Amino acid sequence: MKILIVEARFYGDLADEMAAGAIEAIEASGGTWDRISVPGALEIPAAIKLAHDGDKVAYDGYAALGCVIRGETTHYDYVCGESARGLQDLALQHNIAIGNGILTVENADQAWARANRSEKNKGADAANAAICMAKLKTEFGVKS
């Protein structure tokens, strides 16, 4: 199983912690991984689609990692909704195995509680979801 970790670097420390959790989960399952970065959560679905459509490396699944923290404007709502919609559209329309690890939180404390490997470890959760969905694709004989 080869998983591509696609991480938004807008909050670099959070991204690193979530990626560490994802890497641990992938390696614990016997899989391998590559890791790429994009500027923010809105770019994650496009990066996954580019990787999926490319002919350089075939990935079994994708772990989407990022964080959106509510601010003073409605930008939060658009980023949360559109990044989630983009990932779901890819999964449904193109049969791509994706684990959504984009945190949508009110503040930094909530983000860290979800990102920390010693707490909720959402990076590992996203990787495990990608692995689970990739296995289902194989079980059902689905092609992308």
Residue 87 assigned to a binding site: no
Residue 14 assigned to a binding site: no
Residue 67 assigned to a binding site: yes
Residue 114 assigned to a binding site: yes
Residue 69 assigned to a binding site: yes
Annotated active-site residue in 12, 75, 88, 94: 75
Q: What is the 3-state secondary structure (H, E, C) of the chain?
A: CEEEEEEECCCHHHHHHHHHHHHHHHHHCCCEEEEEEECCHHHHHHHHHHHHHCCCCCCCEEEEEEEEECCCCCHHHHHHHHHHHHHHHHHHHHCCCEEEEEEEECCHHHHHHHHCCCCCCHHHHHHHHHHHHHHHHHHHCCCC
Is 75 labeled as catalytic in the residue annotation?
Answer: yes
Residue 57 assigned to a binding site: no
Residue 73 assigned to a binding site: yes
Task: Please give the annotated binding residues for (2S)-2-hydroxy-3-oxobutyl phosphate, written as ranges.
Answer: 72-73, 114
Task: Please give the annotated binding residues for 5-amino-6-(D-ribitylamino)uracil, written as ranges.
Answer: 10, 41-43, 67-69, 100
Catalytic residues: 75
